[in-house]
Amino acid sequence: MSCNNCHLNGGQRELSLPLVGVAGMFPEYNKRSGRLYSLGDRIVDCFLRSENATGTGEGGLLTTSSKEVLALSAYITWLADGAQVGKNPAWRGRNTITSSSLIPIERLDSRRGEALFMVRTDKV
């Protein structure tokens, strides 16, 4: 996994979780953790949750002061140059699934999901 798995074209492609203009949205309340998140917190969360990271390569967990997190924070801040601080970018929230299109958890079939995953990975 890499950032480009979710944030296509280096975070610059619309409707593909773009990173352009998001730096000014932090700190932001994170419902999952129940607290304010800094941009660094969000990046660490991406590494740990989305990319299944276990450390920095040196055996330690990533922190908001890790060189990788600071580098990504600088890049995302650069992508926000000229964006209005505290205002949602126009694209934000447009790539979400509407409530009416969500499948209830009890209807999900893990065996079907596994079969679809295996077919896809066999083609790679």
pLDDT digits (tens, 9 = 90+) for 62-78: 889 989 899 999 999 99
Beta carbons of 11 and 19 less than 8 angstroms apart = yes
Who has greater pLDDT, 85 or 118? Answer: 85
Q: What's the mean per-residue pLDDT of the chain?
A: 81
pTM of the model: 0.66
Name 92's Cβ contacts closer than 8 Å, sequence gap at least 6.
Answer: 22, 25
* Percent of the chain clearing pLDDT 70 (strictly above): 81
Domain ranges of the chain: 3-96
Q: How far apart are the first and last CA of the chain?
A: 14
Q: In this predicted structure, what is the pLDDT of residue 95? A: 64
Q: How confident is the model at residue 105 (pLDDT cuts 50, 70, 90)?
A: confident
DSSP 102: P
Q: In this predicted structure, what is the pLDDT of residue 51? A: 74
Q: Is the dihedral of CA 57, 59, 61, 63 positive or negative?
A: negative
Q: In this predicted structure, what is the pLDDT of residue 12? A: 72
Mean pLDDT of 86-103: 76
14: pLDDT strictly greater than 80? no
3-96 is a CATH 1.10.760.10 domain: yes
11: pLDDT strictly greater than 80? no
